[in-house]
């Protein structure tokens, strides 16, 4: 299939998994582990303290490297030159920390570049409307689009509206945030569903539970056999205004002008290995994505998760520890357009899937760490729960059918894994917006996330028993 179609399929699969994940009802009171394994896990108490203390003691240096990275490169869109410069930086930083086993693997990445974007309500009064184009949106025709607006609460309302009432109009989806998994459907599918009814453009209420007149971008997809129409996010405040005006019977007319380009560039996944001392072919993977959207700095999504993942093999190497299995950090590229880097890695390493003992990711913030969201068999969950006892109070355990973003595709192949749980109630306040900057982060929280992830990863990579699959 073409690269574009490939990307669309990835996005569809990703959001379907994210939207419909289910919780497995495992009862941890049913866990019956081999007493020798329980005793072995307990024996790691001192070494986990040593690892965490080392991270905390080097916290200022670690955090300054992280802040320097974010401030130096800022936003790192998929396919961009700045992303490749950021990847080079992380390669050099790894080597300067004494780890030479760093390699890259090429990934063909979509490269969508935002141009100028303006919108103005011209009836019933003149008002500028803040917009932020959604990833892969096409441009408006030369001179823009001026059309009447129709506001829809949800897809059901659109489906029930006759086509003649939508054709030639700008559809605004005023879907209020319930959860990311549910509400993101309007961002991903809104343009397609509006185009099927003959709309000339679509706008969505930004996918966020909170707004201070902020717009939030993200990836969207065009379905097959529909006209590609320009699509963008607007603020909650403007969505509410348009809703009130329509409810009062006003005729709303808006003018939109958007430009963008889309081509494909070669990017790279970055693999950093701390080779195992016994089962070198077996892998414990810890990961985060290095790319970001083109707004803000990508500090939270996913600069923090990428950096704490990168630090795992670095700090374990510094302590001269040699886990049984190879500990691999992966800095995924091009996650934001639809898990492109992860899909490429999976395809390239499909024959090695059985070598992945456990896979982890941090891509939902690096706020105060709480524990792990785990995907795997009941026995896998029981082992993770036992290991988490070493980290009280960072011992909260949630069980899901899939976890993370990039690693969902590995979970779906039966690979057990976990995503960092952290106190991220405000994550979607900043997500995919200009507000995603270093100001969101707290140094102590980020350092504690790094300390927990490094120590947990070491234990899993060193246990004599593999994490069991289904």
Output the six-digit token pair for 124: 């019933």
Alpha-carbon torsion 341, 463, 378, 181, what sign?
A: negative
CA distance 414 to 377: 9
Q: What pLDDT shows up at residue 25?
A: 59
Which one from 117, 221, 335, 361 is the annotated catalytic residue?
335
CA-closest candidate to residue 227, choices 198, 255, 256: 198
Residues in the chain predicted with pLDDT less than 50, given as ranges, are: 1-24
Q: Could you tell me how many helices (H) and strands (E) the chain has, helices first?
A: 14, 14
CA-closest candidate to residue 137, choices 71, 203, 93, 76: 203
CB of 90 within 8 A of CB of 76? no
Output the six-digit token pair for 285: 């993977």
Give the strand pairing for 253-274 and 145-152: antiparallel
Q: What pLDDT shows up at residue 220?
A: 97
* Location of each CATH 3.50.30.30 domain in the chain: 112-261
Exposure string (b/e) for 51-81, b if CB count within 10 Å is 16 or more? bbebbeebbeebbebbbebbeebbbbbbbbe
CA distance 20 to 25: 16
Give the strand pairing for 170-173 and 396-399: unpaired
CA-closest candidate to residue 406, choices 29, 11, 20: 11
* Strand partners of residue 47: none
Output the six-digit token pair for 340: 């492109």
pTM of the predicted structure, to 2 decimals:
0.94
335 is catalytic: yes
Kindly report the CATH class assigned to 3-101+275-462. alpha beta
* Location of each CATH 3.40.630.10 domain in the chain: 3-101+275-462
CA distance 283 to 324: 10
Burial degree of 449 (CB within 10 A; 0-12, 13-18, 19+): buried
User: What digits encode the pLDDT tens for the residues 239-280?
Assistant: 999 999 999 999 999 999 999 999 999 999 999 999 999 999
CATH code, residues 112-261 = 3.50.30.30
Q: What pLDDT shows up at residue 14?
A: 46
What are the phi and psi torsion angles at 76 (to 5°)? -130, 70
CA distance 395 to 418: 13
């Amino acid at each position: 299939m073409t690269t574009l179609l490939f990307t669309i399929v990835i996005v569809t699969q990703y959001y379907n998994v994210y939207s419909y994940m289910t919780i497995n009802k495992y009862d941890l009171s049913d866990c019956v582990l081999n007493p020798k394994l329980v005793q072995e896990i307990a024996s790691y108490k001192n070494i986990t303290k040593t690892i965490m203390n080392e991270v905390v003691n080097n916290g200022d240096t670690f955090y300054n490297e992280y802040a320097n990275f974010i401030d130096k490169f800022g936003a790192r869109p998929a396919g961009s030159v700045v992303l490749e410069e950021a990847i080079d930086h992380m390669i050099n930083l790894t080597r300067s920390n004494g780890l030479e086993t760093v390699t890259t693997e090429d990934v063909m990445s979509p490269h969508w570049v935002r141009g100028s974007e303006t919108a103005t309500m011209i009836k019933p009064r003149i008002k500028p409307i803040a917009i932020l184009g959604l990833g892969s949106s096409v441009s408006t025709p030369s001179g823009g689009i001026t059309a009447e607006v129709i506001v829809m609460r949800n897809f059901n309302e659109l489906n029930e509206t006759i086509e003649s009432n939508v054709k030639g109009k700008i559809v605004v989806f005023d879907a209020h945030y319930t959860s990311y998994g549910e509400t993101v459907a309007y961002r991903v599918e809104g343009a397609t569903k509006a185009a099927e009814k003959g709309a000339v453009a679509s706008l969505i209420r930004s996918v966020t539970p909170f707004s201070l007149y902020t717009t939030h971008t993200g990836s969207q997809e065009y379905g097959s056999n529909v006209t590609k129409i320009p699509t963008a996010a607007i603020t909650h405040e403007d969505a509410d205004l348009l809703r009130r005006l329509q409810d009062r019977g006003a005729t709303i007319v808006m003018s939109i002008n958007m430009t963008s380009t889309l081509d494909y560039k070669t990017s790279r996944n970055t693999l950093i290995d701390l080779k195992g001392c016994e089962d070198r072919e077996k892998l414990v993977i810890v990961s985060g994505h290095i790319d970001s959207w083109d707004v803000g700095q990508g500090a939270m999504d996913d600069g923090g998760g990428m950096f704490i993942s990168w630090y795992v093999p670095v700090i374990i190497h510094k302590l001269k520890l040699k886990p049984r299995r190879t500990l691999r950090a992966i800095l995924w590229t091009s996650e934001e357009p639809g898990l492109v880097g992860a899909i490429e890695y999976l395809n390239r390493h499909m024959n090695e899937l059985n070598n992945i003992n456990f896979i982890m990711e941090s891509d939902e913030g690096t706020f105060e760490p709480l524990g792990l969201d785990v995907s795997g068999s009941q026995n896998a969950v029981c082992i993770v729960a036992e290991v988490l006892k070493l980290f009280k109070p960072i011992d909260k355990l949630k069980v899901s059918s899939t976890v993370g973003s990039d690693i969902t595709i590995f979970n779906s192949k039966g690979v057990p894994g976990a995503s960092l749980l952290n106190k991220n109630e405000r994550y979607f306040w900043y997500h995919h917006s200009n507000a995603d900057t270093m100001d969101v982060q707290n140094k102590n929280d980020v350092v504690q996330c790094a300390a927990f992830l490094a120590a947990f990863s070491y234990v899993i990579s060193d246990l004599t028993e593999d994490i069991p699959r289904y």
